[in-house]
A = this chain, B = another copy of it.
Amino acid sequence: MHAEKKIAILGLGLMGGSLGLALKGRGYGGCVQGYARRAETVRHALEHGLCDHAGSEAPEAVADADLVVVCVPVLSIPSLIREVRGALKPGAVITDVGSTKAWLHAEVEKILDGTKVSFVGSHPVAGSEKSGAEAARSDLYAGARCVLTGNEATPEPAMLRVATLWNFAGCRVSVMDPESHDRMLARTSHLPHLLSSALAMAVSRPDGGAPEADFCGPGYRSMTRLACGSPGMWRDIFESNRSNLLHEMEAIRSDLAQLHGLIERNEMDALERYLRQAGELRRHLVSEQQADGSDE
């Protein structure tokens, strides 16, 4: 990491702020320069040590930066990169923390065409239903998986520098192409979020009427926690991964139709087998993660 003298973090919310805290907390010796649109966020970031310097002018923030990490809602990334394009240092590498990648690579590579700046996609699989600079914490990335995305246009050294960044912040890094990333995340993240929101809405249906908060136990609470995520951020994610998400929606709707049929026909042996298999799959996935060093 000593090769990177200055790292610019554009956007100082949960993801950007936590990255700043992790870099400073783990002893990064260079300069962490922050940027946030709102003066209030800049003030908060400086007061809480999310970065060494901060301001509200994005082009100023990226000047002389070796690495630029764009931590704004995913659909806002291209316009922000367009805004700072002229101020980027030749040889710099840009990355991000967005949840969808195929469209982003296409957009950003168009914008950077003709510069000496490379783009590598980053998706640290970490987060919280909380958002904003106040939610930033130094251990957000500790033990998390970070997926880097690149294609044939992505220079190997740029990929390595971004991998080093996330390793330093505490992540375990893996690499895949943007399309596979988006397909996978539709299933493991975007679909679960939609189901969580649908379930939170279900309790408001007018055919209820009892004091329902009383009946929402720990199971219901864990199933609806995601529904508290930022609506604007998730809107962007869904919009930028629509075709994969539609594919997953079709698949889960067909699974639910099948389960509905089992219950309707009282095929309880088959239902029990389904429940058993689901439990085994889930335990297997989580134990794989734990063997791999991540926390539950």
Chain A interface (Cβ < 8 Å from any Cβ of B): 125-128, 144-145, 147, 174, 176, 180, 183-185, 187-189, 191-205, 208, 210-229, 231-232, 234-235, 238-239, 242, 245-246, 248-253, 255-257, 259-260, 263-264, 266, 268, 271-279, 281-283, 285-286, 288-289, 292, 296
Contact = CB atoms under 8 A, between A and B. Distances in A.
A128 to B, nearest CB: 8
A263 B292 contact: no
Residue of A212, A219, A281, A292 with most chain B CB atoms under a 10 A cut-off: A219
A191 B193 CA distance: 16
Contact of A278 (B197, B273, B283, B288): B197
29 contacts: A125-B217, A145-B215, A187-B203, A189-B215, A192-B199, A196-B223, A200-B278, A200-B281, A200-B282, A201-B281, A202-B248, A202-B252, A202-B255, A205-B251, A212-B285, A213-B286, A213-B289, A216-B285, A216-B289, A221-B286, A222-B222, A223-B226, A227-B278, A231-B279, A239-B268, A242-B263, A249-B256, A253-B253, A253-B260
A206 to B, nearest CB: 11
Nearest to A234: B275
Contacts of A194: 256, 259
B279 A227 contact: yes
Nearest to A198: B255
Residue of A180, A185, A204 with most chain B CB atoms under a 10 A cut-off: A204
Residue of A128, A176, A192, A268 with most chain B CB atoms under a 10 A cut-off: A192
Contact of A249 (B208, B263, B276, B292): B263
A210 B180 contact: yes
Contacts of A176: 210
A180 B210 CA distance: 8
B285 A228 contact: no
A167 to B, nearest CB: 15
Contacts of A263: 238, 242, 245-246, 249
A126 B217 CA distance: 6
